[in-house]
Amino acid sequence: MPECNVCFHHCDLKEGQLGLCLARRGTATEVVCDNYGQVTGLALDPIEKKPLYHFHPHSYILSVGSYGCNLRCPFCQNSEISYSDTVKMMAKKEASARQTRYIEPDVLAGLAYEERSNGNIGVAFTYNEPLVGYEYVRDVAVEVKKLGMHTVLVTNGTANAQVEEELLPVIDAMNVDLKAFNDTFYDRLIGGSRQMTMDFITRAAEYGCHVEVTCLIIPGENDSPDEMQKLASYLGELGARCGVDIPLHITRFFPRFHMTDRGPTDVGVIYALCDVARRHLKYVHAGNV
Ligand code: SF4
């Protein structure tokens, strides 16, 4: 049975079977990218919305998303394209499912080029988790680079080294979610791998890709000053080793999707954690406050 090695789940997939991410499918001999070119969202966004605050500030970027995700965050802000029942219907190509629009890589790059007069600098892969369909990211990015424009990846950073090494030559900047600095959060709450995410961030920074990191603060889960101190220290040391300042976005949680048992993060907590992070990092930004 073919095995997918894009992420730590290592799904064994029978012919026709979808992976946990709902974006990849087994055939008789291999695992293929089933959401390739299937676009669910396309919009010209301010680059700060990714969020990237230190990469071509005040510009716009054509942002594209498909469907599927390899994590199961109960607080997901994009559940309608990540892993809800709607996504299962989309992945199974049910007639009643939300329709996607197929866009060839060179066509998408051409659309980005046409938007230059509106301040567009390139293409951002975002909305759902782009790495579960990394082949499309790679192919579009190659076309975008041919046109002299920029590429941005907004990701949970959960993919293996081989996938990342294929993408790094054609990705200019990324924002990676480092969702917590404790393994209980990663293992039990979202079904992820903190180590794989940190390895992803480390490789990107060492390669010389512009990296910014986001951490969503959820009351009672990842909001201790001690944890923020460790997270910021890791990023500070990595940045120092690579000769860069890695910006950190500390953002406020609002109840949604399956996590409605608590209120929004206290704004004072966000500012206090920003102060902790500033002991290690030059650029720390409070988000959603
Ligand atoms: S990318 Fe998808 S199919 Fe591949 S191992 Fe991860 S969850 Fe499974």
For 65, list phi and psi in degrees, rounded to 5.
Answer: -135, 155
**What is the position in ligand 1's atom list of the atom closest to the CA of 10?**
5
Distance CA 239, CA 274 (A): 17
Q: Of 237, 256, 257, 254, whose CA–CA distance to 245 is shortest?
A: 237
Residue 184 confidence (pLDDT) above 90? yes
3-state secondary structure 44-67: EEEHHHCCCCCCCCCCEEEEEECC
195 Cα to the center of ligand 1, angstroms:
17
Ligand 1 contact, 101 CB (< 6 A): no
Residue 98 confidence (pLDDT) above 90? no
Of 5, 25, 132, the one to substitute when testing ligand 1's pocket (max ligand atoms within 8 A of C-beta) is 132
Long-range contacts for 225-231 (Cβ within 8 Å, ≥24 apart)? 225/272, 225/273, 225/276, 227/180, 227/181, 227/182, 228/181, 228/273, 228/276, 228/277, 229/276, 229/277, 229/279, 229/280, 230/181, 231/178, 231/180, 231/181, 231/277
User: Residue 158 is encoded by which pair of tokens?
Assistant: 């959960």
Per-residue pLDDT at 60: 98
Ligand 1 contact, 10 CB (< 6 A): yes
Ligand 1 contact, 280 CB (< 6 A): no
Distance CA 52, CA 153 (A): 10
Which CATH number does 178-289 carry?
3.20.20.70
Instruction: Provide mean pLDDT across the span 1-30.
Output: 97
Averaged confidence pLDDT in the chain: 97
Read off the pLDDT of residues 166-178 as tens digits, 9 standing for 90 and up: 999 999 999 999 9
Ligand 1 contact, 70 CB (< 6 A): yes
Specify whether the CB–CB gap between 275 and 288 falls below 8 A: no
User: Residue 288 is encoded by which pair of tokens?
Assistant: 């959603």
Ligand 1 contact, 192 CB (< 6 A): no
Residues carrying CATH 3.20.20.70, the chain: 36-168, 178-289
Residue nearest to atom 6 of ligand 1 (CA): 7
Q: What is the pTM of this model?
A: 0.97
**What is the position in ligand 1's atom list of the atom closest to the CA of 11?**
8
Ligand 1 contact, 22 CB (< 6 A): no
Question: What is the second-level CATH architecture of the domain 36-168?
Answer: Alpha-Beta Barrel (3.20)
